[in-house]
Structure 1
Amino acid sequence: MTTFIFDVLKDLQNTNKNLSDITFILPSKRAGLFLKHQLHKVCNQTIFAPEIISIEEFVEELSGLKTVSNTELLFEFYDTYLALTPKEETDSFEVFTKWAQILLQDFNEIDRYYIPQKKIFDYLSDIKEIEHHHWSLEENQTEFIKNYLAFWNKLHSYYDHFSDALKHKNIGYQGLLYREAANSISNYIETNPNKQHLFLGFNALNTCEETIIQALLKEGLADIYWDIDASFFNNTYHDASLFTRQHKKNWPHFKAHNFKWITNNYTEKKNIATFGIPKNIGQAKYIGSLLKDLQQDNPNLENTAVILGDEDLLIPVLNSIPDGINALNITMGFPLKSIPLAWLFESLFYIHKTPAKSFYYKDVINIISHQFIRPLFFFDDIDYASKLIETIDGNNIIYLTTERLKAIAPKSVELIDLLFSNWHKSINLALKNCSDLILHIKNNLDQDKDANLLALEYLYRFNELFNELENLNSKYEHINDISTLFGIYKELLSSETLDFQGEPLQGLQVMGMLESRVLDFETVIISSVNEGVLPSGKSNNSFIPFDLKIENKLPTYKEKDAVYTYHFYRLLQRAKNVYILYNTEADVLTGGEKSRFITQLELEDIHNINHQILAPKVPVLKSEEHIVEKTEQLVNEIKAVAEKGFSPSSLTSYIRNPMDFYYQKILKIKEHDDVEETVAANTLGTVVHNTLEDFYKPLEGTFISVEIIKGLKSKIDERVTYHFKNEYKEGDITKGKNLIIYEIAKRYVSNFLDFEIKDLKSGNEIKIVAIEADNKVEITDIPELDFPVKLVGKVDRVDEYNGITRIIDYKTGRVDQNQVEIINWEDLTTDYKKYSKSFQVLTYAYMMQLMNQINLPVEAGIISFKNLSAGVLKFAKKDKSGYGAKKDVLITSETLDNFKVELKNLILEICNANIPFTEKDV
């Protein structure tokens, strides 16, 4: 295939033009690089290389001004705003930047399209007066109305003051450079009467560009080559040729000169395929698959380009590129906002946005756990970051001061100060903290430079960014608080990239749509061809209303769509293989249904379009049972657990899911204790249990009375508070949900004591036998096992109620009577949800019988603090289900003999080397 650039050079050669004398002007620097590379193909002898520049460079030369960053323009514009606005009416810099960004874009458009400034600003002001005429005619206008109308009247003075201030400093925004360049073109022609210029590959030109090019054409100092295909040019409805048709029709030059060129490349045979793929990541992965297939015939993927309609796809696409590609060029740059360091500084700015004496524990943990920060907390082989996290978790600390952080990690005082102290003393100090932090990270990474080259490159770019912030702040002094600094930081970050080093002239090319200008590739893959992305659709981020744009020939969304239509179709003109990808999942934020470009291609009926809807390959994963076979070592571990003692909770854990028992009792894996922001249910239960233990433990062996219990009520506040501090550590129980839970704990204890008093007043005798008594006993009648098996457990309360012994377990959750009743004994070890409570209380009764601590028959049951009115929920054996079933609440020798059979079977199963631990669906 030939390229547009080669065709232009060949035409110049055929017309005997001296290439060395021509200044080539192209839409981008990148196109200039490709042009320079093609020169040798048309040169038969050694020549001096011609001057090759982009249109932006040419305009900068003409204007005599230097372009400055958008961020610096905001600072300069704020100077203008302050100079023209009474002090009492001024917005803060942070508020100003919200609307000033839009106004700067409008200034840029007005200048690029050479609109008389006074005319458009007066027109805009008049429109606002008419729109709000009922405001402007009011005699007693409010301050808001006055300020609103005054804003539109000031736009022209803002523009004049701002542009004059910039020109005085020899700097400007793009539009101002264009206006000045257009104003200076006559002087340029006078001083360069013989200099030849060649413009190539342009499409949509602003008025200033048209003025400049036409002036040079008129004087015979320039020629221009367009790149448009007859298929588009001859179709008056096709937006790809919207601008070139206008230029050919309206420019006087083309009444006497040929229009170069209208070509016929688009109708040549092409392989065009469109693929609908769900989600952006699906497109990225499919691009990787396509490239792998293309490698079979073209190993280095020469003359192949991946065009990203949505540039956010860059990272997933790079991660999907197949192995074996030796030459790769990425023109877009890696966005700094995607680098982990960006998240670190965003977190720091976030916690310091408003002055605070303490920091939320999650924010602290996020920062000290960051991949670049955590290594800085190592001193003398001690990981102070881990120590901080463990202390926060262990003490339930929700908010931390810098003093507390320093006390936990005394060797990290300097680092803690950098991260958490003095950010609000001054902006300069905050920026210094950022720069010093970068230096600390660099010193750590320097210990292994080869392994950290990319990370050091990140650091260098962020160091540049903070240096720029320091320079802007010292030069303009508009940043007065961290919130404003944060906003400017994000503004700078959004436009900064980390440039790649690649092979710009060979191998695979990865680029955005605008980087593809003037370039031609044999194989093209275009992603994100969806409405809202390609083309970008209706968006009007401007103060200038649509009708005023039409009146002044400013571009609207129609012209912007036509720009993307041209770029899209131009990529297809000379290509032989075209792969168009779009997202089948319409999303209002990132693009809608497939693009009209695809529909247009299908309706043209010029090429056969292979259209496919693809779905990602999803492997079928068979759900396999998680099974752990019992090895000899595992059996020995089980024996050790048996000798130490099975508790009722560990046995019910096995009933619920054998794997839970394996993890907790054999592997001894405990769940990580996270910080409890809100008091957890188990913490509430522990507090209530411990408070009742404090009250009743001293009463063991005695009959309780109403007076004794009433005496306990006065101690509720003190004991509950004590146990909350003991369990909840430094967690705050003075407000919010925690205060409610704290009050609930007190209410539970108080209600229980009231329940006890009511019982005693009814004439019942209650003697406390044991409170939280530790029980441990060996089961001697399991002859199948040749090792000791013990049971261990604490019974919450044992008492005598009118002479009958009761074994009682406290539950702070809700328990109902049917949860402590059984019909069939074998159900005890099969259904955890229904029968775990019965199993627990029967285990306690069996243990105490073995230890000769009780005389049968006895009762056993649950006291549920959420169902206290039901009293003691006694274990009962029912002879059948349904209404009227006979219940036996007394636990006799026969009851325990039946239970013992189920318990023995359960223990034998746990200890059986031939029965593996098997995951249950819980």
Structure 2
Amino acid sequence: MTTFIFDVLKDLENNNANLSELTFILPSKRAGLFLKHQLSILTKQTIFSPSIISIEEFVEELSHLKSISNAELLFEFYNSYIHLTKEKNKDSFELFSKWAQILLQDFNEIDRYLIPQENIFNYLSAIQDLKHWSLEDNKTDFVKNYLSFWNKLYSYYDHFTKSLLNKNIGYQGLIYREAAKNLKTYIQNNPKKEYIFLGFNALNTSEETIIQELLQNGSAKIYWDIDSVFLNNPKHDAALFTRQHKNNWAFLKNNPFNWITTNYSKEKNISVFGIPKNIGQAKYIGSLLNNLQKENPSLQNTAVVLGDENLLIPVLNSLPSSIAALNITMGFPLKSIPLASLFEDLFHLHKISTSSFYYKDVIKIVSHQFIRPLFNFENIDYASKLIETIDTNNLVYLEKERLKQIAGKTSGIIDLLFSNWDKSIDTALNKCSQLILVIKNYLNEDKTSNLLSLEYLFRFNELFNEIIRLNKDYHHIKDISTLYNVYKELLSSETLDFQGEPLQGLQIMGMLESRVLDFETVIISSVNEGVLPSGKSNNSFIPFDVKIENKLPTYKEKDAVYTYHFYRLLQRAKNVFILYNTEADVLTGGEKSRFITQLQLENIHPINHQIIAPQVPIIETSLNVVEKTEDLKKQIIRVAEQGFSPSSLTNYIRNPIDFYYQSILKIKQHNDVEETVAANTLGTVVHNTLEDFYKPLIGHFLTTDIIKKLKGEIENKVTFHFKNEYKEGDITKGKNLIIFEIAKRYVSNFLDLETRALKTGNEIKILAIEADNNISINIPELDFPIKIKGKVDRIDECNGITRIIDYKTGNVQQNQVEIVNWEDINTDYKKYSKSFQILAYAYMMHSSKTIKPPIEAGIISFKNLSSGFLKFAKKDKPGSYAKKETLITQETINNFSIQLKALIIEICNSNINFTEKEL
């Protein structure tokens, strides 16, 4: 396959051109590398390399201006803005930057297309004056300011551009305008220079003026790369600009047009694949390359062109490991580097001036991969210590001093990360620079394994140095929010360049990087509407009809640019793979591109169109089974000897695997910070408060006076236990204050229940509070001791009946403490777990002979206090009319004992594994 570049060089050689004395001007720098390579293949003798430059470099040389970054342009423009705007009408730099970006783009377009500046700005002002209330006598301040803005557009432009010219700097459009102005002088000063323009398509008016002038002067040649199929079809947008140039340029009417090719009509293998989601495209690119390597192991002359450049990282992760030579021309976006997330978190933390920091923000920062190692000192991991302290003490908001106290000998890092940035912008920038140096010093300890991280750090150091320079030169950054916007602006335009093999192996590039280059095999991704082409967007203050009138580019011209790039990639290629996302998404592209439909309708090449779906294996969910090995049996015996609790036994009924994790392996749930008081914390507070109230009353009869006195202590006791359980969590506001009040209400309502019971003539005597039970059970089938243990919330005597009471802060209904068939109590957790627990307490106390009949056991539910004491009941049949037995008799104990022992035998049985239940 011969390339366009090679054809140009061959033509120049055939015309006896002295290649060393030529200046080649290309659309991009990258194409220059390929031109040098092709030149080395063409020439058979040693020659001096010709001058090879991009059009931007050539135009800068013509204009004598230096291009500056978009961020610096904003600062320069703000100088002009504040100079021309009254103090009371001035926007802050942050607000200004939002609309100034659009205006700078308009300035750029106006200058690139050599539009008379004053005319168009006055025209825009007149349009707005007509559209907006110009006939009203009394205009509001808002209307006056609005019209004043449009009237000042030319003043802004004039002051801004003169300021830039005085400093010999400029934006692209201004550089182009000045270049066109200086062209005649440049030609006079360089009469012997000869220029070769190649691979151009869409030219702005400045470029057209420059190239035509050089052509007319005999100082240049231009080589187009357009196929006859496109040029001869007046409706084909791939040749939209080339047709205009061919028809309108005076030079081309009298001179040959180089060239019109016929490459596109040659045989090609074109495959179109519809693939769900972007990640699916990335994975399929990997599969395609794997297959292509079978015929072309080095993947020479193969390019992957990413329509959506966000696919770069997924594609790199999907490449076959067998690829030896690889070149990536796009650059890795700095905003995708892990270090970017650290500064994003820091800006998020400091955007609002505060003396305390939210625990999640703190944990996120100290856990960051670049920060956590800094907290290691003398083999102590202070980051872990900090996180554990936050969790243990329930710290939702932390002061810097508290953080320093926990961080111990690494408190200097806390100063860097959490000192208030809002004191001054210089302070914030210095903290960022110091942090970069601290990370650098750590990474330097093992430089060889941290080379990539050090490269990341170097680029961020450059970025912050640039912000420091801009702040020093312009003084427009007044707050952290503005600083963050400037940081984001610079970050979005910065990339980390890859080192690869630019002329060997697989090439990965964006659509614009493919200009002038030809490949035998091309894979193009994201060929969807909204991506290729990008579709309608009007990010401009200039109305559509004004753009048409002034021959400024609109979305139609932008689409035509991408149409040319797309079809030019296909021109000389033999194998073409076009991928598109089948899942239409308004944010990342819509349906398949019109380019695909156009290829199908042209009917020049057969199109292999397939919808590809990923292979999704059916993963059969299997229940987790833990086999009871000899070692596990020993652990079960140890647990049995220590004692099974009623809650652990009901846990086994619910799911044996949970019992295995919690009772055998002793795995506890991690105690996260409770921003809002958890239900179990509320329950503990209520239980502990009632324990404090009733323990001193053991052996005494309750009276209304005693209860009245207890009610006066509710506030202090509940507060004490909240502080004890909720540690340093805040209960003075928000949901936590509501939950605190609920806890007080629960206790108060319970005491009211007691008062009502006493007033109706009930005699209540407290027998025990939080009574510990630990009894041995004789199970002949097992040859090791078995114990059962548990703590009963309250035992009292009410009118001569002993009551075993369990408190529940949740909602419990009477039917949850009733059973019909004893066999069900070991099988249905949802229905009978409450019954199992209270019967287990009754069984233990009956066995230890600490209570005397008659006995009742039941629950007091704080969310169902109106139902009072919910007694356990054995029913003779289902239904509400069944006969109930509420007393805990010897028969009740015997029947429960049978079920209890059967459950323990099952747990200890070596032949019955711990098998997960389907919940």
Superposition TM-score tier, normalisation by shorter sequence: over 0.9
Q: Could you tell me which residue of structure 1 aligns to residue 786 of structure 2?
A: 789
| 1:44-75 Cα distance to aligned partner (Å, 9 max, x none) | 32222111111001000000000000001011
Report the CA distance between 1:137 and its aligned residue.
Answer: 3.0
Q: Could you tell me which residue of structure 1 aligns to residue 897 of structure 2?
A: 900
- Give the counterpart of 1:802 among 799, 813, 828: 799
Q: Could you tell me which residue of structure 2 aligns to residue 676 of structure 1?
A: 674
Report the CA distance between 1:354 and its aligned residue.
Answer: 1.6
Q: Could you tell me which residue of structure 2 aligns to residue 52 of structure 1?
A: 52
Q: Could you tell me which residue of structure 1 aligns to residue 66 of structure 2?
A: 66
Q: Give the Cα–Cα distance (whole angstroms) in 1 for the partners of residues 809 and 852 of structure 2.
A: 29
Q: Could you tell me which residue of structure 1 aligns to residue 368 of structure 2?
A: 370
For 1:54-133, what aligned pairs fall within 5 Å after superposition? 54-132=54-132
Q: Give the Cα–Cα distance (whole angstroms) in 1 for the partners of residues 659 and 870 of structure 2.
A: 28
Q: Give the Cα–Cα distance (whole angstroms) in 2 for the partners of residues 311 and 182 of structure 1.
A: 33
- Give the counterpart of 1:348 among 333, 346, 349: 346
Amino acid at match of 1:808: I
Partner of 1:593: helix, strand, or coil? coil
Report the CA distance between 1:42 and its aligned residue.
Answer: 2.4
Amino acid at match of 2:274: G
Q: Could you tell me which residue of structure 2 aligns to residue 385 of structure 1?
A: 383
Q: Could you tell me which residue of structure 1 aligns to residue 495 of structure 2?
A: 497
Q: Give the Cα–Cα distance (whole angstroms) in 2 for the partners of residues 285 and 597 of structure 1.
A: 23
Q: Could you tell me which residue of structure 2 aligns to residue 546 of structure 1?
A: 544
- What is the RMSD of the two structures over their aligned residues, measured on CA atoms? 0.8
Amino acid at match of 1:39: L
Q: Could you tell me which residue of structure 1 aligns to residue 187 of structure 2?
A: 189
Q: Give the Cα–Cα distance (whole angstroms) in 1 for the partners of residues 92 and 409 of structure 2.
A: 41
**Higher deviation after alignment, 12-21 or 829-838:** 12-21
| 1:145-188 Cα distance to aligned partner (Å, 9 max, x none) | 11110000101011011111111111000000000001111111
Partner of 2:105: helix, strand, or coil? helix
- Give the counterpart of 1:357 among 352, 355, 358: 355
- 1:857·1:893 contact (CA, 8 Å) conserved in 2? no
- 1:25·1:55 contact (CA, 8 Å) conserved in 2? yes
Amino acid at match of 1:853: T
Report the CA distance between 1:195 and its aligned residue.
Answer: 1.3
- 2:334·2:492 contact (CA, 8 Å) conserved in 1? yes
Partner of 1:794: helix, strand, or coil? strand
Partner of 2:513: helix, strand, or coil? helix
Q: Give the Cα–Cα distance (whole angstroms) in 1 for the partners of residues 47 and 709 of structure 2.
A: 109
Q: Which runs of 5+ in 2 are unaligned?
A: none
- The answer on 1:920 being equivalent to 2:917 is yes
Report the CA distance between 1:40 and its aligned residue.
Answer: 2.3
Q: Could you tell me which residue of structure 1 aligns to residue 566 of structure 2?
A: 568
Q: Could you tell me which residue of structure 1 aligns to residue 315 of structure 2?
A: 317
Partner of 1:449: helix, strand, or coil? helix
Report the CA distance between 1:616 and its aligned residue.
Answer: 1.1
- The answer on 1:7 being equivalent to 2:7 is yes
Q: Give the Cα–Cα distance (whole angstroms) in 2 for the partners of residues 625 and 398 of structure 1.
A: 38
Identity, % of aligned positions = 74
- The answer on 1:811 being equivalent to 2:808 is yes
Amino acid at match of 2:125: S
| 1:773-823 Cα distance to aligned partner (Å, 9 max, x none) | 11111112x011111111111101111111011111000000011111111
Q: Give the Cα–Cα distance (whole angstroms) in 1 for the partners of residues 179 and 826 of structure 2.
A: 89
Q: Give the Cα–Cα distance (whole angstroms) in 2 for the partners of residues 649 and 612 of structure 1.
A: 58
Q: Give the Cα–Cα distance (whole angstroms) in 1 for the partners of residues 684 and 692 of structure 2.
A: 12
Q: Give the Cα–Cα distance (whole angstroms) in 2 for the partners of residues 397 and 667 of structure 1.
A: 29
TM-score by length of 1: 0.99
| 1:741-775 Cα distance to aligned partner (Å, 9 max, x none) | 10000000000000110011111111111111111
Q: Give the Cα–Cα distance (whole angstroms) in 2 for the partners of residues 596 and 225 of structure 1.
A: 29
Partner of 1:424: helix, strand, or coil? helix
Q: Could you tell me which residue of structure 2 aligns to residue 820 of structure 1?
A: 817
Q: Could you tell me which residue of structure 1 aligns to residue 839 of structure 2?
A: 842
- The answer on 1:884 being equivalent to 2:881 is yes
Deviation beyond 4 Å, 4+ runs, structure 1: none
TM-score by length of 2: 0.99
Q: Could you tell me which residue of structure 2 aligns to residue 740 of structure 1?
A: 738
Partner of 2:152: helix, strand, or coil? helix
Q: Which runs of 5+ in 1 are unaligned?
A: none
- 1:276·1:614 contact (CA, 8 Å) conserved in 2? yes
Q: Give the Cα–Cα distance (whole angstroms) in 2 for the partners of residues 854 and 40 of structure 1.
A: 104
Q: Give the Cα–Cα distance (whole angstroms) in 1 for the partners of residues 772 and 695 of structure 2.
A: 13
Report the CA distance between 1:422 and its aligned residue.
Answer: 3.8
Partner of 2:634: helix, strand, or coil? helix
For 1:225-236, what aligned pairs fall within 5 Å after superposition? 225-236=223-234
| 1:885-920 Cα distance to aligned partner (Å, 9 max, x none) | 111111111111111111001000111111111111
| 1:246-304 Cα distance to aligned partner (Å, 9 max, x none) | 00000001111111111101111111001111110110010011101111111110000
For 1:677-756, what aligned pairs fall within 5 Å after superposition? 677-756=675-754
- 1:856·1:893 contact (CA, 8 Å) conserved in 2? no
| 1:17-51 Cα distance to aligned partner (Å, 9 max, x none) | 22112111110011111011101232232222111
| 1:393-441 Cα distance to aligned partner (Å, 9 max, x none) | 1111111010111111221221111001141221111111111101111
Q: Give the Cα–Cα distance (whole angstroms) in 2 for the partners of residues 735 and 508 of structure 1.
A: 61
Report the CA distance between 1:637 and its aligned residue.
Answer: 0.7
Amino acid at match of 1:105: Q
Q: Give the Cα–Cα distance (whole angstroms) in 2 for the partners of residues 905 and 33 of structure 1.
A: 82
Amino acid at match of 1:917: F
Report the CA distance between 1:554 and its aligned residue.
Answer: 0.3
- 1:288·1:320 contact (CA, 8 Å) conserved in 2? yes
Amino acid at match of 2:106: D
- 1:327·1:508 contact (CA, 8 Å) conserved in 2? yes
- Give the counterpart of 2:514 among 513, 516, 535: 516
Partner of 1:282: helix, strand, or coil? helix
- Give the counterpart of 2:432 among 416, 431, 434: 434
| 1:611-652 Cα distance to aligned partner (Å, 9 max, x none) | 111111212212112111011111111111111110000000
Q: Give the Cα–Cα distance (whole angstroms) in 2 for the partners of residues 837 and 474 of structure 1.
A: 71
Report the CA distance between 1:337 and its aligned residue.
Answer: 0.4
Amino acid at match of 1:190: Q
For 1:595-674, what aligned pairs fall within 5 Å after superposition? 595-674=593-672
Q: Could you tell me which residue of structure 2 aligns to residue 337 of structure 1?
A: 335
- Give the counterpart of 1:205 among 203, 207, 214: 203
Q: Give the Cα–Cα distance (whole angstroms) in 1 for the partners of residues 138 and 232 of structure 2.
A: 60
Report the CA distance between 1:855 and its aligned residue.
Answer: 2.1
Amino acid at match of 1:836: S
Q: Give the Cα–Cα distance (whole angstroms) in 2 for the partners of residues 328 and 375 of structure 1.
A: 33
- 2:27·2:200 contact (CA, 8 Å) conserved in 1? yes
- 2:102·2:539 contact (CA, 8 Å) conserved in 1? yes
Report the CA distance between 1:827 and its aligned residue.
Answer: 0.6
- 2:354·2:420 contact (CA, 8 Å) conserved in 1? no
| 1:467-521 Cα distance to aligned partner (Å, 9 max, x none) | 1111111111111111110110011000111100011111100000000000000
Instruction: State how many pairs are aligned.
Output: 919
Q: Give the Cα–Cα distance (whole angstroms) in 1 for the partners of residues 158 and 632 of structure 2.
A: 85
Q: Give the Cα–Cα distance (whole angstroms) in 2 for the partners of residues 448 and 898 of structure 1.
A: 70
Q: Give the Cα–Cα distance (whole angstroms) in 1 for the partners of residues 894 and 456 of structure 2.
A: 73
Report the CA distance between 1:138 and its aligned residue.
Answer: 2.7
- 1:445·1:456 contact (CA, 8 Å) conserved in 2? yes
